[in-house]
Structure 1
Amino acid sequence: MRTLDVAIVGAGPYGLSLAAELDRHSLDVCVFGSAMAFWRDNMPPGTKLKSDGQSSDLPAPGAGFPISRYQTETTGTFEATRPIPVTEFYDYGLRFRDRVVPRADPRMVRDVRQAGSDFIVTLDDGSHVTARNVVIAVGVASFPHLPEPLAGLPAGYVSHSVQYGPVAALAGKRVAVVGAGASAIDVAAALHEAGADTQIITRRATIAFHHPPARRPLRHRVRRPDTGIGGGWDLWFYANFPQLFHALPEAMRLRIVANTLGAAPGWFMRERIEGRVPMRTGMTMLAVTGANGVVTFDLRDRQGAKHQIEVDHVVAATGFRPDVARLDMLDPALAAGIRTAGTAPALSRRFETSVRGLYMIGPIAAPSFGPVMRFVFGARSTTPILARHLAAQCERAKPAAALRRVGQAAYRQPGE
């Protein structure tokens, strides 16, 4: 059986970018999974990226295939600050794959397990491949978080925003969207436009929409420099120096990731929400119960007044929590050998887990490398570093593999 140098599990922005970077090192690499499937299947109609064009490139060696070239080829123009529709970003990812990714396999990975110093990767059709190294690049879809008391609702009364995609199944129903971030606002707008009686419930005092892009005076840019993930010296550090972030104490890293870049919908969503979808801000959920097809919220506002509302369904836009235990494609014995920081993997400076040869990149790496890993922009500081490391590892492994082959030949009997 042929052995891959690197098997990449997940064909989103990080997985595709890493495959493109590894191509320059002449390794035997394959990226597995339906390309850009999260952006195709898990985004409500009308969604746009919060990051603008200049922050949404998929990195690749040399000239690569930046989104500016894609937009110029498809529309004739490129506007660096124009919000990018998710449908456009999905198509860009497919064209990136076709142009700069040497080998992509749309089959999904069902199981990854160790076999000596290598890994056996089982695909959804039951076939197997062997790989010396495996990189998990699966994004956030595996990690939806349901906080209490929503987690206690019976099945069928609550869903997570990551499940939408199409929202037509909730048309005509009374729906409460819990949350105040981009996911909450995106799905609430799509539900309202699909004919659902929609309202937003959040503990935050206001919905903190991003400001529209504008040319900032030099003195403002010095005080709060622009980055691919927002403005400010703290974000400048997180965006540009994830390797230094990795050197911070673990408890500090976890605290920063938990409290940086909170709920902030895109500025362009105001017109789809304000005056159209009721927003119950500053609310504390005292209790949430579901029975007889109705979800009842008991709420308290910031003035202490109590409110009770009833809806048919709840959509929880309550974020994601990376968790090694929820990576269903990992063999339980393999997952049990991964050291964690909280529930996320504790990664080396080269994105390696405590299992030699097993790496993880993308949002699951945020507790080790900072908030930038939650964004496409983080791929630019991830994939070149990991590609160089993997190339060096594979190069060092060649003499050992050759010696094993020589040894095996020496012990063959004549005539074998």
Structure 2
Amino acid sequence: MKKLDVAIVGAGPYGLSLAAFLKSSDIDHCVFGPAMSFWQDNMPPGTKLKSDGQSSDLPAPGSGFPISRYQIETTGSFVVTQPITVEEFHAYGTRFRDRMVSHADPRTVATIRRDGNGFSLTLEDGEEVGARAVVVAVGVRSFTYLPRHLAALPADCITHSVEHGPVAALAGKRVAVVGSGASAIDVAAALHEAGADTRIITRRESVAFHHPPSHRRPLRHRIRRPDTGIGGGWDLWFYVNFPALFHALPEAVRLRVVETTLGPAPGWFMRDRIEGKVPILSGMTTMAVSADDGVVTFALKDRHGAAHRIEVDHVVAATGFRPDVARIAMLDPALASAIRTCGTAPALSRKFETSVPGLYMIGPVAAPSFGPVMRFVFGAGTTTPVLGRHLARRFPRAASTTVPLGPPAAAYGQAGE
């Protein structure tokens, strides 16, 4: 069985960024999983990131490989306020991997279990790999949340928004999208454009689109509401710049802040694809929802108390995510049960370590410990350098002698990755 100092499970923005820092410290490591697969497989084609280009960099040591350099190399220019499509972000991430990451293996990890003083990872093809430390960077795909009344619907009548990439299978059907955030609006636009009879149902009074970015705000406005990589305001400035101080807050306060900060807000550029094209049933309370013979019926009440009845063929629930250790399927049950939790998320040390020595978790799953910034790519900037330095001290090496695992580098860019 091959042995590593550090195995990174998940090759999204956080996993790839951490791998770049471990490479710079000559740490014996490998990052596992298809690179940036979430951005290719779980978001509708044509979706754009809400964050500005400068907030979408994958952090790396030194000058690294920011997305501005990628765009200049591929298109000849970079406009910081121009939204980035998920297709371009996926391509940027895979180019980052090729340039900045020394050891990547596109195979997924099926199981992680404790093995003596370290861990044993079983890969999708049955190969086993040993590691002294494991960093889980799995994103949000495992943490879909369905309200109870929607979870009771038959499985063939409902999907979560994270299950849509392509939406062509729903063309010609009557579809209700439940929610009013970016995921709801993105998938509703894609469904409408694919030929589905689409409507949006939300309990909110209106859809709160982001304002277009401005980089010439008056000084007094910038003092009153300083800009950050995740929005404007002194509260967000604190969450972005002082995640370690956020970590020191009482658990109940942290959980409340993460639950209530930065509510649903689709990108400003989505207005033209939604307004006047997709009906929005706002201010709605769901009184009951049922399914019969393939038809889903919503009994709704609006803010004035008037009743509405909506029948559709399918429901897309854009109802968010809730980090939950018990839903990280690759964790051996005995390992999962040994992890102390903060709510349902892992309770992490200041170095992102769980209560199981040597097991770390980063990305959105770390939000209850380190704040709302962890729900964004931008949060990698305050995560991966800290964890990279910590692991470099834990596993000092004069030079890396790692033998790459799995397929050769030429296979990393294969179709479907």
**TM-score, normalised on structure 2?**
0.94
- Quick one: which amino acid aligns to residue 331 of structure 1? D
**Structure 1 CA distance for aligned equivalents of residues 178 and 32 of structure 2:** 34
Matching residue of 1:410: none
- 1:193 maps to 2:193: yes
SS in structure 2 of the partner of residue 58 of structure 1:
coil
Structure 2: which amino acid aligns with 1:317?
A: A
Identity percentage over the alignment?
Answer: 75
What CA distance in whole angstroms lies between the structure 2 residues aligned with 1:2 and 1:169? Answer: 42
Please name the residue that 1:44 is paired with.
44
Q: Which residue of structure 2 aligns with residue 263 of structure 1?
A: 264
SS in 1 for 2:395: helix
Would you identify which runs of 4 or more consecutive aligned residues in structure 1 move more than 4 Å? none
User: In the TM superposition, what is the alpha-carbon distance from 1:394 to its structure 2 partner?
Assistant: 1.6
Partner residue in 2 for 1:96: 96
Distance in 1, matches of 2:246 and 2:3, equals: 35
Aligned residue in 1 for 2:402: none
Q: What are the residue-to-residue correspondences of 1:28-43 with 2, within 5 Å?
A: 28-43=28-43
1:314 equivalent to 2:315? Answer yes
Q: 2:220 aligns to what?
A: 219
Q: Which residue of 2 aligns with 1:300?
A: 301
* Residue matched to 1:405: none
Q: Map 1:148-167 to 2 at 5 A.
A: 148-167=148-167
Residue in 1 that maps onto 2:122: 122
SS in structure 1 of the partner of residue 111 of structure 2: strand
Structure 1-normalised TM-score? 0.94
What residue number does 1:63 align with? 63
State the partner residue of 1:342. Answer: 343
> How many angstroms does 1:155 deviate by?
1.7
Q: Which residue of 1 aligns with 2:403?
A: none
Cross-structure match for 1:290:
291
Tell me which residue corresponds to 2:410. none
Residue 392 of structure 1 is matched in structure 2 by 393
- How far does residue 148 in structure 1 lie from its aligned partner after superposition? 2.0
| 2:409 alignment counterpart | none
Q: Which amino acid aligns with 1:313?
A: H
Residue in 1 aligned with 2:234? 233
DSSP-derived class of the 2:148 partner: coil
Superposition pairs for residues 330-369 of structure 1, below 5 Å? 330-369=331-370
Gaps of 5+ in 1: 397-416
Match in the other structure for 1:169: 169
The CA distance in 2 between the partners of 1:140 and 1:301, in whole Å, is 32
CA deviation vs aligned residue, 1:37-84 (integer Å, no higher than 9, x gap): 000000112100000101000000011100000000001001111100
What is the rounded CA distance, in whole Å, between the counterparts of 2:312 and 2:45 in structure 1?
Answer: 22
Q: 3-state DSSP class of the match of 1:48?
A: coil
Mapped to 2, the partners of 1:338 and 1:234 lie a distance apart of 30
- 2:141 is paired with a residue whose SS is coil
Secondary structure of 2:155's counterpart equals coil
Alpha-carbon separation, structure 2, partners of 1:307 and 1:43: 31
* Contact in 1 for aligned 2:2/2:128 (Cα 8 Å): no
Amino acid at match of 1:318: T
| AA partner of residue 154 (structure 1) | P
Say whether 1:107 aligns with 2:107: yes
Q: C-alpha separation between the residues in 1 aligned to 2:300 and 2:217?
A: 41
- The equivalent residue for 2:250 is 249
Instruction: Provide the rounded CA distance (Å) in 2 between the counterparts of 1:12 and 1:24.
Output: 19
In 2, distance between residues paired with 1:2 and 1:152?
45
Aligned residue for 2:18?
18
Letter in 1 for 2:285: T
Q: Which residue of 2 aligns with 1:399?
A: none
Aligned AA for 2:185? I
Paired position in structure 2 for 1:147 = 147
Paired AA for residue 143 in structure 1 = F
Is 2:33 the counterpart of 1:5? Answer: no
Q: What's the secondary structure of 1:198's corresponding residue?
A: strand
CA distance in 1, matches of 2:199, 2:282: 11
For residues 2 and 197 of structure 2, the distance between their equivalents in structure 1, rounded to whole angstroms, comes to 55
Aligned to 1:380: 381
Q: In the alignment, what sits opposite 1:209?
A: 209
CA distance in 1: counterparts of 2:149 and 2:104, whole angstroms: 42
Structure 1 residue 221: deviation in Å? 0.3
Matched residue, 1:404: none
Letter in structure 2 aligned against 1:284? T
**Secondary structure of the residue that 2:220 maps to in structure 1?**
helix
The one-letter code of the counterpart of 1:276 is K
Q: Deviations over 1:355-394 (max 9, x none)?
A: 0000000000000000000000000000000011111112
CA apart distance, 1:191: 0.1
5+ residue gaps in structure 2? 398-417
* CA RMSD, Structure 1 to Structure 2 (Å): 0.8
Deviation at 1:3, TM superposition (A): 1.6
Match of residue 411 from structure 2? none
How far apart are the structure 2 equivalents of 1:155 and 1:261? 30
Secondary structure at the aligned position of 2:138 is classed as: coil
Describe the superposition over 1:220-278 as per-residue Cα deviations: whole angstroms up to 9, x where unpaired.
Answer: 00000000000000000001111110000000000000000110000000000000000
Greater C-alpha radius of gyration: 1
